[in-house]
Amino acid sequence: MIRSYQPKNTQWSNLLPLSDNERQRLQQKIQDELEAEHQLREDRARRKVEVLEEKQQPSTPKPQAGELKVLRSQLQRKFYEENGYKLKKDPTGRDMWLSPTEQEFRQKRNKSKRSNKKKKSFVKTHQNNLILYLAIIAMAVVMGLLIVKRMQ
């Protein structure tokens, strides 16, 4: 005896068959989706063929990388100079162009660093070292006096 599989107590067991109208709408929707997918695939395939054909055809000579780099460098230098940029070296030694705003910011920052350095005197910066050296000298004097006293 062959039993057919029928799900029990599931959401599918309570469904009614589709009406002709619903069936036609679903068929049309599915057909539209398939046609849209087909169109996407065809477009993708055409683009691949075009790229392949472009590679096979002798192309116009492209500018050499060196020429392109020189041209870019010249245009960049001209643009930066016209707009008030200045050429500076970064800490690693590479060239960098600073805009007027960046230049102003760096000047303010460097000025505040210089003024802070001027405010600190030698004694303030080396205060801990001076205290240590004075303590060592005082101990040496005391040890020297003890040694001289014992010898007498």
In a domain, 46, yes or no: yes
User: Strand (E) positions, 2-152?
Assistant: 86-89, 95-98
- Tell me which of 30, 56, 82 is where a domain ends: 56
Per-residue pLDDT reduced to its tens digit, 63-99: 687 888 889 889 998 998 888 888 888 889 898 888 8
Q: At 145, list the tokens.
A: 């006096």
How far apart CA 12 and CA 25 sit, in angstroms, is: 20
With b meaning 16 or more CB within 10 Å and e meaning fewer, what string describes 133-146? eeeeeeeeeeeeee
Regarding whether 109 and 82 lie in a shared domain, the answer is: yes
Structural domain span for residue 26: 20-56
In a domain, 144, yes or no: no
Per-residue pLDDT reduced to its tens digit, 18-62: 888 888 999 999 999 999 999 999 999 999 888 888 888 776 666
In a domain, 108, yes or no: yes
In a domain, 47, yes or no: yes
Q: Per the structure, how many domains does the chain have?
A: 2
In a domain, 86, yes or no: yes
